[in-house]
Every structure is written in C-alpha cells, then in structure tokens.
Amino acid sequence: MKKTISIMIGGLLCCAAAAQVRIPRSAAEDTDKVMSEKYWSYWNDDVQKKIDADIEANRKADASLKLDGAAKGTKVSVEQISHDFIFGAHIFNFNQLGDKSINAKYRSLFGSLFNSATIPFYWDKFELEPGRPRFCSEYWDLEEYWNGVKDPKMQIHWRRPPTDDIVKFCKQQNIRIHGHPLAWGNRQWQVPAWLFEACTTPQERQKLDTLIKKYPERSVKNKAEKYTKKYGEMTPKQIAEYIPEFTERLNKAYVERIQQICRRYADLVDSWDVTNESSTDFGKGVLIPGDKICKSHYGIMPGDYPWLAFQAAQKILPQKARLNLNDYNNKYTAAEAKDLISRGCKVDIIGSQMHLFKPKSTLDIAAGAELRTPDEVEETMKGLDIGLPIHLSEITITAPDTTQKGRMMQAIILRNLYRKWFSIKPMMGITWWNVVDDCGAPGEPSMSGLFTRGMNPKPAFFALDGLINREWKTILDTEADDQGKINFRGFRGKYRISWIDKDGNERSLVYHLK
C-alpha cells in the first residue's frame, strides 16, 4: 500500500496537483528516499489514524452560543485567534543575532508561531557579580552592541539577555512567559563561580579547602568541584556541622535569589521551572528532609534543595503562577513530584525534556531504530502522568546535515512527534529549544534550528507552522439556527465570531472555547 506524508517546503508548491509536497514512502521508491520503510512501519497509517482520533477527542471541544441580532440563516464567520495549548520556544537570542532585519524576523515568531517564550534566569550569567542581577539592559545588551560583534558566541552573556526587556516585549505581544530556572545544581551553566567564596568566612575557607581542593572550573571538561577523601568520608550532616556558617549562607543565598526574582515578576511571569533536573538526586536518595547540606551529584548543594526552592517560590508568587518540576530523568520525575506535593509543595506541572542532540540519533531514527517511536512516546508520558498537566518544556530535533534530505528528516520527525505529543490527553504544551541554527550553547548541535543562521526557514519550520497555523487551527463559516445560535467543534482557544445582525450592523465577539 502506498503511503504519503505532506509537508510544506519553503512555502512553495512543489507539486502542481496538490497544495502540499508529497513524499512517497513505498518500498518501490529509489535509494534516496528520506525515511526507511522500517521507520514508517512505526508511523504507519493505522497509527496516524489513532493519533488523529486522539487529537479530535483530547484537543477539541464543542461550542454552542447565541448571537445577538442573529436570525435563522445568518451567515457567521468563526476564526480561531489563539491556542490554549502551549506552542513555545526559548527566547535566549533576543536582539543578539547581529542584524536588525534578522532580529526582527526572530521576534516576529513570538505571536505568529509561538505563543509562549521561555526566558533565561540562569544564575551564573544572570548575576555575574554578587548583588548585581541583570534585570535591566546595559550598553552591552543593546541591539546595536550585538550588531557590531563579530563572534557573538565568544561573549560571556551570549544567549543570556537581561530579563526586563524580554518580559516587556512578551507582554506587548501577549505572549505567555515561562521562567527558567530558579534552582539547578549544574556547575557549568547555573552555579556562579563566585558563590562558594561569597558564602565562606575567612575562618571557614581553610576548612572548605580540605573538602574541595578546587573551586568550580568553568571549562566544558571540568564541570564540578574536585573533592577530597575527607569530603567522601563525611555525611551531609557532618559537613554542615563542620562548616556551619557556610552552610547557612549557602541556603540563604539560594532562597534570596529565588525570592528576589519572584518578587520582581510575581504578576508578570505565568509559569516557572522552580527546579531543573533534580530527579537524579531524588533517585540517588540524597535529598534528605531536614538536612542543611546535600551531597548532590552536581556537588555541594543546600539540603533538600528542591523542597527549599518550591517553598521559597510559593511564599512569594501568586496562586495563579504555575510551578513546574522540570527534568529529563523520566524514571524519577513523577515520584519526586509526588514526594514534594506530599510535603506541602505547590507543584502544578510536570516538566519533561526530549533532546535529540546528536545528528546520528536522527539518522538512526530515519533508518528505523526503535527510538522515539509512538509506543515509546506513549509509555514515557504514561510514566509521567500523576494527574498533573505535562509540559514538554525542552525539545531538540537535529538535522543530520545541511542537505535537503537531512533537513527533510528533521521535518518529518518533528511532524510525527508533535502530532503524537499533541494527541496525548495530559499534555499542555511543547517548547522548542534552539530556534536558529548555530545559536545553541557550546556543545549543542549547530543544525537543530527551524531556521538557518540567517533566519531562512527550513522544512522543519514549514512542518511546524503547517500544524500550528493550519492543521490545528479552526476556521469555518456557519449559519445561525432559528434561535440565533451557532454550534461548532474546534480546537480549544479563543475565537473571533463575526456576523451581520438583522438590522444590517456588523457584529463580532471574542469567545473562549475551553
């Protein structure tokens, strides 16, 4: 049986008989086919029909509303203007792309494609010096500065723009805001190099040096402190007793950082990654209630730091702010969330990640490896389902190369995975990570964007745009019944309803279909 998939390429029609490009998937096609038959055996027609049925059941709702002045047969236009489902991306490259027109194209995606923006609050670059958080722009944050920089990736604040300007932009564009992250133990990307010294008294500095021979090193190859034998022999309680002032200062620093940020943006940011990637520590059993120090796999951290972070945030943030436990370690995430909730933490969302960073992973999937199949996706999400919404808060799908075939692999995998994720009932959103090629963090792939470095769209962009703005957007014309009512079924979100009443007046309203 011949199978096909439709994807827009470059916004141009490559098939005169259809409005979309059609990629054949039969065994008879030539050796240059994009995806293998094994791949399509996972994503076969029956699977696609099941996905369609689940999308219909889980992402749509029935609407019924009476229109003032509408008589039987009144023509009514129904146009969806926003989605309830989160289609997000991080906005780390805000005004940093080196050209005004390219920056403008980047910003325009937030509103035309993405309805949610993840804003960076990574402590290491957010507070380069103790007591000087980078809320406000300085000269080196301006668009003009970045437009004159030859190698932006060499700048210490690359991908770390100040937060006030982004919050203001998102509010002006009616973009949902997600803060990331408040607490994380990672030494390379999160924990400031100055933190331990700032928390250490002169008297305790020598004691700390008997536990850690070197303070955090900032290179990619040396991500954590170097621990002594003494450190390994001591329990967290013994460490806290050995360096008590450092312990108190470290705990206080974490709480004050979280609460300072939360106070400033309490009514502005919609949701937060309160803790990021703490589930490995939970699984290792090192998050011990009551401890002041945690021997995290990252290094020394405040004791029971996820609980500490949630408690600090929820004391400041309003009830409407949604608090997220974000992780890639799906083996322990659900259990950690349950534990935190049982101890009084306001966990509103389960956050999950899916990064196909390696080009080889994309090639393996295209060749038919049993990786990111519909069944695997289903089982992963079932394991996270504890009755809370699930936000796939970071995803990466890398093109294996810059050829059209490689980029089509990225687009096809994107389309199928997005459709599967969108079909799963607890899912509340999906957030793409690096939007532009060669704009990731050092060590991340350079071909994982939806756009080239010059903001030229790749097939992956057209695949995603086709889903969000076409396949999953309800636009229709209907007629009022004899009671002046209309009934329709559509994707959840806000709609503009337009009609001409019986007196000849143009009328419209905004209706939220939940």
Q: How far is CA 35 from CA 362, 405, 433, in A?
A: 10, 9, 24
13 pLDDT more than 90: no
Confidence tier at 225 by pLDDT (50, 70, 90):
confident
For the residues 312-325, what does the mean pLDDT come to? 98
Taking the C-alpha atoms of residue 392 and residue 211, their distance in angstroms, rounded to an integer, is 38
Which residues does residue 390 pair with via DSSP β-bridges, in sequence order? 350, 427
20 pLDDT more than 80: no
Confidence tier at 217 by pLDDT (50, 70, 90):
low
Are 90 and 118 in contact by the 8 Å Cβ rule? The answer is yes
Q: What is the pLDDT of residue 159?
A: 97
Nearest to 491 by CA among 56, 74, 24: 56
Q: What is the mean pLDDT of the chain?
A: 92
Which residues does residue 491 pair with via DSSP β-bridges, in sequence order? 60
Domain boundaries, the chain: 82-471
Q: How far is CA 159 from the centre of its chain?
A: 15
Confidence tier at 1 by pLDDT (50, 70, 90):
very low
Read off the amino acid at residue 132. R
Dihedral in degrees, nearest 10, Cα atoms 348, 184, 306, 207? -170
Read off the tokens for 143: 């668009």
Q: What is the pLDDT of residue 33?
A: 84
Are 179 and 119 in contact by the 8 Å Cβ rule? The answer is yes
Read off the amino acid at residue 245. E
For the residues 73-93, what does the mean pLDDT come to? 98
Q: What is the pLDDT of residues 27-39, one digit of tens each?
A: 334 435 899 999 9
* Sign of the alpha-carbon torsion through 442, 446, 448, 452: positive
Confidence tier at 141 by pLDDT (50, 70, 90):
very high
Could you tell me whether strands 427-432 and 390-397 are parallel, antiparallel, or unpaired per DSSP bridges? parallel
Q: What is the pLDDT of residues 454-508, one digit of tens each?
A: 999 999 999 999 999 999 999 999 999 999 999 999 999 999 999 999 999 999 9
Confidence tier at 327 by pLDDT (50, 70, 90):
very high
DSSP state of 484: S
Where is pLDDT greater, at 344 or 214?
344
> Which homologous superfamily is 82-471 in?
Glycosidases (3.20.20.80)
Give percent above pLDDT 70 in the chain: 92
Confidence tier at 444 by pLDDT (50, 70, 90):
confident
Q: What is the pTM of this model?
A: 0.93
Number of separate helices (H) and strands (E) present in the chain: 18, 20
Q: What is the pLDDT of residue 75?
A: 97
